[in-house]
Chain A
Amino acid sequence: MAAVRLGGSVFSALSFQQVCSHSDQVGLLFGEVSVRVKDSISDSQINSKTTEKTICVLSHLPCHLPLSSSLTTESINKAITEVACDREKHIVGWYRFRRNSSPEPSLWERIIHRKLSETLKSQENMLFWLFTYQSSGTVSTHVTDYTLYQQKDRRLQAIPHAVVNLGDTSHDHYRMSSAGALSTDLGMLGVFKKYRDRLVDGEGQLCEVSIMNQMNSALQAQLMGLCDSVHQGEKEASVLEEEVAQLQSVLREAMEQKEQQEPSVLIPEKVDISKIEQHQTGDVAGDVRDIAMETDEDNSPFAVQLRQIAEQTKGVTTEGKKTPKMDRKEVKKESEPRTRRKSRKSSSSETEKGEEGDLFSNLVSEMRSKVQTPGNQRQHSRQRGSRQIQEEEPMESSMSENIDSGTDVETEDSQKSSQSTIKNEDVQVVSSDDETDMEQEPSSSPVF
């Protein structure tokens, strides 16, 4: 059975017209019959076609159909032609309105329906819309009933129908097909046709929808690119980490060999300065003390220096983040901007340790220079060019720091200075100045 949709405007116009009428009314209904084939695919059946027929009532027109013995095919044709000249093919039914009567088809209505179906040759789809009206005895309540009938088994049977109400907001899903409430006015249809090309592409799809889809695809591609680049960067980082670990192990082995070969060399045990600073300095101090203890009997100036170094390192480890003993004023410049001071304050702890570390590192470097080894040379070169190295490869500087425990503090400082270098050029300048100052005044070192 076909689904019937009645236009809301048709319904309201008919109701108003009938309320204002003086007697019973008869008229024709215009609309369209559409057939939609729905092919659904499910797990059990690959092809399941269902045919849906929809009859839409879009307009109406009063018409005088003869209710008498002159009710013949010719008279009906004449009545239809008078009212609907060239719209006969759009006739989908007829209606009748009568007051104070039962909502059942009467004898004449059945006859007219049959004659109309034969005349228009649409037996199955012909609709009959019956309106009745009643009012209460006190004329306070007025009731309008309407029923839609269709011929079935030689009888007029009531069929379900839906009145299209545009104000109905109960729908929670999008309409996949036309609601069947469009106007059939040629002017309105012309406007729709004119703007359709702008809104709909050649395949019948909305333009904006395809553009949004394209943008979505581009965003997806860009995201995939970013994922690839991140993946690449992670791969490179892992390769570099492996390389660093290898180099560290090589250096470790070299240091061990060297210790085994030359135990008198005053090179403190290397400690991984990147991990624990105090532990490193403590170990260094311990080593230095040991060495100093070993050479204590000689009371050589070298031994005295070692003892002093040990005391200094011990003080560094115990005092922690105390202010450096070095006179800052000697280092401080009047032209330093505030930002430098602020950065210096922010890294005060680092610079304090760096200053003390610088003394020690200088001492160690002097001692090392006496014992020239390739690794140490490399270490020194690294320290000298720590600035450059720090800028380019901060990992290598940390690696160099790990190799030479004597310069742990210095390397730590350089590392921190390198960090500050990366963050702030002023700090870098300060640290470089500090290093420069330290280098420039080795003889003014109060420690020695």
Chain B
Amino acid sequence: MASEHSVLKQLHPLVRPYVERVLRRGNVGVCMGNLRISDVKSGRPTLTQSKEPCGDRFKIYIPFAGDSLKWEVIFDSCQPSNPPDFIFLGENGNFDPDIEKLENLTQWDPENPESLVLVLEDLLREYRCYQRQLIEGYSRLQFEYSSLQGMEACDDVEVHMGNRLPGTLDSPVNFLIRLPIDLSPIPQYLVKDDPGEDLAVLLAKFHNSEGSRVTPQLFLSPKVEHALGDNTALRIPRFPTGGCLMDYVPQVQDFLQKQIDHIVEGYQRRREYVAAFISRFGGSVLEYDAESFTKLSLVLEWNEFFFVLHIELPSRFPQDMPVFTFQSCYHLSKTNGEPYISVQKSYPYSPRWTGEEMAQRAKLFILDFIPQFKKVSVSSNKL
């Protein structure tokens, strides 16, 4: 954000609105990545640049199919009504879109701040067509792309042919596939910045046009990544030798779905468990984790003996049983001077019980255990 602010500060006032909209709404492409702007320069003589911000040309980095496109956008601050000019760096002049298909460019509206965003969308659309034309010369790649287009398991595909490998006539090709998975049940992940839209994309990197070596990578949005763990923990299946994306993508999708289902189920069960305890011990609830439902603390009383009960639910709940921690309100431990606690990890439990059942059984266990806890707390500890 600080870099975006500095970029906007260097721009000419007449050019600034367009760029501001690009930074705000410029999420384009399959991965919906943010566009990045840098290298703000001016077309005016050097001496006049220092007096006022007059930047009217800059470089824009667009994420596309695992790579980053580098385009140069040129305005003319002396003639701001003119549409911008574009230089497609790294394309060697091969990307030459038809001007007739760029309506937002030919009918440039200088009054509309969204104009630049619309022009970029048009250009990216033409760029995707251009990349598709590039792989038409390779039968294997063409087959992969056409097969993905017809799949339901494939929501959107971007293909990008990189620069030619040194010493060969081959070029690496990236396939970026957006997996159509419902990620809404995943628990909320509250962060300071906007985590963005939830999505999962699969990047298949073909090291050559024959597809003899393919490297898959799964990219997740921040919420999904937090829920499932980072990419290293999530081991996706290996790409089979001689296989094709048409078969591999559904495998990855099923695997991911299972993981998500597991995560969602655990979340649901935790929530149910905590809800059951709250309903049973409503007035005794001290605090609980309302986001992921992993902790619960209760203040209970038995024969005028008050104690605190902390319940921790593991990540693999309900397979793993919750941990009960009894804490005394009166006595301190002789060893560390803190309130005396007693951790209980084994008690009657079954993962097949419902939350209500678990709460009931937990209550019985507490009633059985608390006299012993009181005795130990009083005799061996100090006030």
Contact = CB atoms under 8 A, between A and B. Distances in A.
Interface residues of A, number: 28
A19 B44 CA distance: 10
Interface string B87-103: 11100011011010000
Contact of A69 (B42, B45, B93, B107): B107
A101 B83 CA distance: 16
Interface string A93-107: 000001111101111
Nearest to A115: B99
A155 B76 contact: no
Contact of B44 (A23, A101, A139): A23
Nearest to A156: B93
Contacts of B57: 100-101
A72 B161 CA distance: 34
Interface residues of B, number: 29
Given A69-B108, A101-B74, A107-B86, A139 B46 contact: yes
A108 interface: yes
A173 interface: no
B107 A99 contact: no
A335 interface: no
Contacts of A111: 99
B41 interface: yes
B43 A99 contact: yes
Contact of B78 (A22, A68, A110, A157): A22
B289 interface: no
Contact of A68 (B72, B82, B97): B82
B41 A100 contact: yes
B247 interface: no
Residue among A24, A154, A155 with most chain B CB within 10 A: A24
Given A67-B85, A107-B85, A100 B43 contact: yes
A103 to B, nearest CB: 9
Given A106-B87, A108-B85, A101 B41 contact: yes
B58 to A, nearest CB: 10
B30 to A, nearest CB: 24
Contacts of B74: 98, 101, 106
Contacts of B78: 22-24
A273 B83 CA distance: 118
A346 interface: no
Interface in B14-56: 41-46, 48
Contacts of A19: 45
B99 A104 contact: no
A23 B43 contact: yes
25 contacts: A19-B45, A22-B45, A22-B48, A22-B78, A67-B82, A67-B83, A68-B108, A69-B106, A98-B43, A99-B42, A99-B43, A100-B41, A100-B42, A100-B57, A101-B74, A102-B87, A104-B87, A104-B93, A105-B93, A106-B87, A107-B86, A107-B96, A107-B97, A139-B46, A155-B94
Given A98-B43, A155-B93, 8 more contacts: A21-B45, A68-B106, A100-B57, A105-B87, A106-B72, A106-B85, A110-B96, A142-B46
Interface of B: 41-46, 48, 57, 72, 74, 76-79, 82-83, 85-89, 93-94, 96-97, 99, 106-108
Return the 4 tightest CB-CB contacts between A and B, nearest first: A100-B41, A23-B78, A69-B106, A106-B85
